[in-house]
Chains A and B, each alone.
Chain A
Amino acid sequence: MVPIAIDNVTLEYDTPAGKVTGVKDVSFDIGASEFVCIVGPSGCGKSTLLNVIAGFLAPAAGEIRIDGKTVKGHGMDRGVVFQDFAQLFPWRTALGNVSFGLEMKGIPKAERDRIAREQLRLVKLEKFVDSFPHHLSGGMQQRVAIARALAYDPSVLLMDEPFAALDAMTRDDMQSLLADVWRATRKTVIYVTHNVAEAVYLADRVIVMSAHPGTVQADIKIDLPRPRDPLSVEFVECQKQLMRHLGHKVSGNGVGH
């Protein structure tokens, strides 16, 4: 719902061997309500970049602006979904997890229960509001995590390979569910993945990153009508185009992934 500017962001790690540059001079803009996927080989710093945008890490140089305001630390304008199923609080039910952010905002119980139920309905979990996370499958846990990140109505949704640990069939379902949720909510989404088909299925735009240090290698618009058909010729063509960008880099500088 709001635009994001990533402006010359550089991030360094402290390692025993000295400073290592994880992300170098990365710049791109994201439009309001745009769905952007960041794709790249492992080690390209795509998750690191997402953590900078989330405010968990501070950049060594450059800045990130959300709706014109410079990001300083985490904030409730951004919702975050991680890859790890363990992100849910095991001591809270699905409903309790989803209402957490609303509780922090000081919204009264009846109201937050209503909103949380609504969010769980959006991810098709209305039957499991009172289940604890350990009784839910991985896919269901990730759906609770999505509902939880949306419940307090952040304008930006940051997702770090949320479906990478799911089996292929569940992942397909989740991708189509996420596409529906995005269409319904019109959040600005930044979605990190290493799965090219997933990026083509979900994204308005794909940022391709290369590794060591992480830099933007290509910025590709996906102009396919939605809902997208992964078996269509155009879809496969888009995938090939992305693969070339990734593959070219791999053979180009001899970094094997």
Chain B
Amino acid sequence: MQDAASTISAREAPGHSPGRAASRLRSIWRNIFPFIVVGVLWEIVAISGIFPARLFPTIETVGRTFFALTANGILPHHAIETLIRLLSGFALAGVFGVTIGILMGRSRLAEDIFLPLVSICAPIPGLAYTPLFLLWFGLGSFSSILLVGFVSAFPVIFNSWTGVKAVKEIWVRSAHSMGADDRRMFTHVILPGALPYILTGLRLGLAQAWRVLVAVEMLAAVPWGLGWLIFGARKFLNTDAMLAGIVVIALIGLLLEKLVFQKIENYTVVRWGMVAA
């Protein structure tokens, strides 16, 4: 009993020690350092005049544009439109991807039917499907969402399928011996057992969704959206607006990762010791 008690206290100890603040600062510094290096190099190039100032603005200019566009509501509007498409498409991918993946993991028949299809479609770049989707479903948000859902479903399917296959036989046996029927075997054992993989799949799916969405917004003639902002700004050589759009994409990605995925993981698979923190 002693050993586990000390493990627990050892885990909690850093929370009360003064060393924690210092190590936090160090880790923040480690994260910021590369950005400072790139920022300094960027400024050197921008000020040196290798590119015309119009095409290679300084960080101050980008920052000013970023705040101006945020203040007048243009950037948030673009960002929200993009976010709605992203989340709608990703929700489709999540629901269908997890369902199909788990079905493939649970049923031989589903595996035989879906695996060849998924294997062939998955490696095709999402953009290759874009013209087809635009012709079938028209220009605009609807086809963008469908395409995002379709393309980002593949990593979700693959990982959910792998996750179900990776559920330990000994859990299934234990649950069987304790009287679990098929339904509860699924909800109480298979789902939580496959969760580390399913979360990985969703995370990869979200990255995939970003990639294809920003590109599709450039092609699908949507009136608002970060992809459209970046693409449209090219005509007027507004590189500062383009860069501001790219910054927003990075920020949203970071927020989703930190506030959604890491939170879910910390509360589930990390807390359960199924994945290292």
List of B residues within 8 angstroms of A42 by Cβ: none
Contact present for B8 and A152 (CB under 8 Å): no
Q: Can you list, as one digit per residue, whether each of A64-103 has a CB less than 8 Å from chain B (1) or not (0)? A: 0000000000111011101010111111000000001101
Contact present for A140 and B8 (CB under 8 Å): no
Contact present for B174 and A90 (CB under 8 Å): no
**A54 at the B interface (CB under 8 A):** yes
Count of A interface residues, CB-CB < 8 Å: 37
Contact present for B4 and A78 (CB under 8 Å): no
Q: What's the dominant secondary structure at chain B's contact region?
A: helix
Interface residues of B in 236-270 (CB under 8 A from A): 268
Complex-state Cα separation, A71 to B195, whole angstroms: 34
Contact present for A80 and B8 (CB under 8 Å): no
Q: Measured between C-beta atoms, what is the minimum distance from A105 to chain B in Å?
A: 6
Which one of A76, A131, A137 lies within 8 Å of B179 (CB-CB)? A76
What bracket does the count of chain B residues touching chain A fall in? 20 to 34
Q: Can you list, as one digit per residue, whether each of A134-152 has a CB less than 8 Å from chain B (1) or not (0)? A: 1111001000000011001
Most chain B CB inside 10 Å of its own CB: which residue of A80, A89, A131: A89
Contact present for B177 and A79 (CB under 8 Å): yes
Instruction: Give the nearest-CB partner of B3 in chain A.
Output: A137
**B26 at the A interface (CB under 8 A):** no
Contact present for B189 and A84 (CB under 8 Å): no
Complex-state Cα separation, A128 to B193, whole angstroms: 22
**B48 at the A interface (CB under 8 A):** no
Instruction: Give the nearest-CB partner of A83 in chain B.
Output: B170
**B188 at the A interface (CB under 8 A):** yes
List of B residues within 8 angstroms of A56 by Cβ: 173, 176
Q: Can you list, as one digit per residue, whether each of B78-99 has a CB less than 8 Å from chain A (1) or not (0)? A: 0000000000000000000000
Complex-state Cα separation, A173 to B227, whole angstroms: 66
Count A/B pairs, Cβ under 8 Å.
Answer: 85
Contact present for B271 and A132 (CB under 8 Å): yes
List of A residues within 8 angstroms of B4 by Cβ: 128, 131, 135-137, 140
Most chain A CB inside 10 Å of its own CB: which residue of B8, B178, B180, B271: B178
Q: Measured between C-beta atoms, what is the minimum distance from B264 to chain A in Å?
A: 13
Contact present for B178 and A152 (CB under 8 Å): yes
Given known contacts A91-B268, A131-B4, A135-B4, is B274 in contact with A74 (CB within 8 Å)? no
Which one of B177, B195, B271 lies within 8 Å of A80 (CB-CB)? B177
Q: Measured between C-beta atoms, what is the minimum distance from B177 to chain A in Å?
A: 4
Complex-state Cα separation, A86 to B28, whole angstroms: 37
Complex-state Cα separation, A243 to B14, whole angstroms: 52
Given known contacts A90-B273, A91-B268, A140-B4, is B173 in contact with A80 (CB within 8 Å)? yes
Contact present for B179 and A152 (CB under 8 Å): yes
Q: Measured between C-beta atoms, what is the minimum distance from A53 to chain B in Å?
A: 11
Given known contacts A86-B168, A91-B195, is B273 in contact with A135 (CB within 8 Å)? yes
List of B residues within 8 angstroms of A136 by Cβ: 4
- The residues of A with any CB-CB pair to B shorter than 8 Å are 54-56, 74-76, 78-80, 82, 84, 86-91, 100-101, 103-105, 124-125, 127-128, 131-137, 140, 148-149, 152
29 residue pairs bridging A and B, Cβ less than 8 Å apart: A55-B177, A74-B173, A75-B179, A76-B177, A76-B179, A80-B173, A80-B177, A82-B174, A86-B168, A87-B170, A89-B174, A90-B273, A90-B274, A91-B195, A91-B272, A91-B274, A100-B178, A100-B180, A104-B179, A104-B180, A131-B8, A132-B272, A135-B4, A135-B7, A136-B4, A137-B1, A137-B4, A148-B178, A152-B179
